[in-house]
A and B are shown apart, each in its own frame.
Chain A
Amino acid sequence: SQQGEEDPQALSIQEGENATMNCSYKTSINNLQWYRQNSGRGLVHLILIRSNEREKHSGRLRVTLDTSKKSSSLLITASRAADTASYFCATDAGANPGGGNKLTFGTGTQLKVEL
C-alpha cells in the first residue's frame, strides 16, 4: 500500500514561478525524502528531512515537515523548464507498521514548467 500521497497529481506553471507539491503519509516516520524522475529514467534523490527537523533547504529546493499533520511540502523556487519531471515523496517508517528496511513511495506529482 502507498504510504505517501502527493498532491496535486499534476501541476503546470510558467518558468520563473514557484512550484509547491505536498505529501501526506499515514504512520510515524524516521525521515521523509523527495525524489525526482525524468520521463523514462530512474529516480534521483533530492533531499532528506528527519522527523525532528521542520525545514530544510538545498539550492532552489525547500522542504517542510509537519509530523503532527503527517505532511510535507516541496517548494521549487524560480522554476526552470529543466525542472519538468515527476516528483515523489518517500518515507522511512523504521520499525513502525509498513517500515523495516525499506522506503515507501507516494504516487508522485507531475510537474510541467513551460517557457
Chain B
Amino acid sequence: GAGVSQSPSNKVTEKGKDVELRCDPISGHTALYWYRQSLGQGLEFLIYFQGNSAPDKSGLPSDRFSAERTGGSVSTLTIQRTQQEDSAVYLCASSRGTGSNEQYFGPGTRLTVT
C-alpha cells in the first residue's frame, strides 16, 4: 500500500481482556517494528521482524505481550490479560530491509484499558 496502516485506530478494553492490534506495512518492506508511546513520553521499542529471521523480542515488557508476522507482511501484536499500565499508543513502522534503512510509521492504535 501507499503507507503503513494500523487497525483499529482506537481500542478501549476492560482490564484482564486480551487485545490484538494489526499492522500492514508498506508493500515490499521486509522489516517491521512495533513501538509503544505512553502519554507525553518518547517511543519505547517492543519488537522487530526482519524477513524470515527470528524476531528481536528484546523490548517486550512482559510475557503478556507477543507478536506474529504472517507471510512476511501483516503483523499482529497481542496483549493478554491487559493491565491499566498497558494504556498507550502502539505504533508500527516498516523499512525496506536491514541495516541503515529509513523507517516509515503508521498512524498508531490508541489503547485504553479501563
A, B assembled together: no
